[in-house]
Amino acid sequence: MKIRPLRKNEQAPYDLLLLSDDTRESIDKNIHNGEVFVAEIAEKIIAAFILKAEEEYTVEIKNIAVMEGLQGNGVGTMLLGYIKEIAGIRGLNKLLVGTCDQCFKEMEFYKKSGFEIFNVRKNFFVDNYKDPIYENGIQIRDMVMLSVDLAKKSSA
Ligand SMILES: CC(C)(COP(=O)(O)OP(=O)(O)OC[C@H]1O[C@@H](n2cnc3c(N)ncnc32)[C@H](O)[C@@H]1OP(=O)(O)O)[C@@H](O)C(=O)NCCC(=O)NCCS
């Protein structure tokens, strides 16, 4: 598997990015404010994510997604490993990610790579999306924020 930045003039893989977000509008906002990366196997794009610089030394992971048929095989964990690696090379010391209050599988996914919950953005999905969003039949409201401290990890 090869992970690389999206090339200039290359179309963003919306089919994949939409697995992690409900609206193209919010994906476009993340593309505009961040860097899109794709993972490919035999030149076929099978996963993607966006990195958005936050405060100094911190980057937020947005719209991480693996093609449906390949989920649950360790690809996402490899992406998180790659993100940690390039964050380290860039001298960053913290990664952030947000997920929904009903996204328990995703929370496990991040926690298994060392992320810990540090904050809850109350009513984020109510205030920032026009229509209600449901996950497993329950309306999602809050964004659960997780982070991993890279400096702490490498010295441990
Ligand atoms: C979330 C996502 C990126 C994880 O990538 P992945 O390649 O499927 O994850 P991995 O195979 O590396 O799994 C790591 C851990 O995540 C959890 N997990 C991942 N997929 C799971 C599934 N289908 N069911 C239950 N747990 C799952 C498990 O805890 C798993 O650990 P395990 O393999 O020891 O059981 C991927 O499932 C995905 O694209 N989902 C749709 C888009 C999305 O929701 N993005 C995240 C937005 S916050």
113-127: pLDDT as tens digits: 999 999 999 999 999
Contact 148, 84 (CB under 8 A): yes
Residue among 49, 64, 70, 71 to mutate when testing ligand 1 (max atoms within 8 A of CB): 71
With respect to CATH, is domain 2-155 assigned 3.40.630.30? yes
- Which pTM does this prediction carry? 0.94
Residue nearest to atom 10 of ligand 1 (CA): 74
Q: How far is the CA of 22 from the centre of ligand 1 (A)?
A: 18
User: What is the band of 152 on the pLDDT scale with cuts at 50, 70, 90?
Assistant: low
Return mean pLDDT, the chain: 94
Q: What is the mean pLDDT of residues 75-92?
A: 96
Is the CB of 77 within 6 Å of ligand 1? yes
Nearest to 50 by CA among 17, 76, 78, 93: 17
Q: Please give the DSSP secondary-structure letter assigned to residue 19.
A: T
Which helix (H) or strand (E) covers residue 108, if one does?
A: helix 104-112
Give the strand pairing for 58-66 and 94-100.
Answer: parallel
Domain borders along the chain are: 2-155
For residues 6 and 45, the answer to whether their CB atoms sit within 8 Å is no
Instruction: Point out the least confidently predicted range of 6-10, 119-123, 146-150, 152-156.
Output: 152-156
Span 26-57, pLDDT tens digits: 999 999 999 999 999 999 999 999 999 998 89
Beta strands in the chain (DSSP E): 2-5, 35-41, 44-53, 58-66, 94-100, 116-121, 134-135, 138-139, 143-149
